[in-house]
Amino acid sequence: MRAVSGYLENGRFTPHEVIKLPRRVQAVLVFNDATIDENKTERMAWLSKFHASVVDAADEEMPDFQRMQFNRELIDFFNEGR
């Protein structure tokens, strides 16, 4: 018998560490009834702030950037060895 710890979210199990399981094996699922919702308030506040920043930047004009010039010849691999 082997125990593997991880998270079960939306029907998918994600182990804490990389494991290799056989293709088919009998298993027993034991889970903690407590939901994992650490720092949800902080995450939601950050997402709201990020979304507001994206909305504010939507109409912002982008400056013209100078093109890079590498001063190298283009290599044409199609003509090699012919």
pLDDT at residue 49, rounded to an integer: 94
Q: What are phi and psi of 8, to 5 degrees?
A: -110, 115
12-15 and 6-9 strand pairing: antiparallel
Average the pLDDT over 62-72 and give the result: 80
DSSP state, 9?
A: E
> Whole-number mean pLDDT of the chain?
82
pLDDT at residue 8, rounded to an integer: 82
Structure tokens at 78: 């199609």
Position 81, amino acid: G
Q: Up-side HSE of residue 34: CA atoms within 13 Å toward CB? A: 3
Structural domain boundaries in the chain: 1-31
